[in-house]
Amino acid sequence: MAKPIVVTDDTFDREVKDGLAMVDFWAEWCGPCRMIAPILEELAAEYEGKLKVLKLDVDENPKTAMRFRVMSIPTVILFKNGEPVEVIVGAQPKRNFVARVEKHLPQA
């Protein structure tokens, strides 16, 4: 079962360059970040092979957070082939994340 992948400033570009990737910009001390963590774990499992779910700790990796102008956390950015296509700020219900992901998946 797929799990979210931890990325760093050094590994970020390599992980988002191909396909669809959802990046959770978070920090250990952030309560709302911990609230959405189980949702992101579910999405990683449910969309295995279609969506890569990544986690980037903004305290340990400030360069990437600054690069994408992440001002508050949690911020979840959906990337398609390395380009940001959706930004979700704050804790949201699972259906909001699903709706954003579904917009960018190839239609069967």
Q: Is the pLDDT of residue 51 over 70?
A: yes
Could you list the active site residues? 30, 33
Q: Is the pLDDT of residue 103 over 80?
A: yes
Give the domains, in start order, of the chain with CATH numbers. 5-103 (3.40.30.10)
pLDDT digits (tens, 9 = 90+) for 53-85: 999 999 999 999 999 999 999 999 999 999 999
DSSP one-letter code for 77: E
The model scores a pTM over 0.85: yes
What is the average pLDDT score of the chain? 95
Give the whole-angstrom CA distance, residue 100 versus residue 108: 17
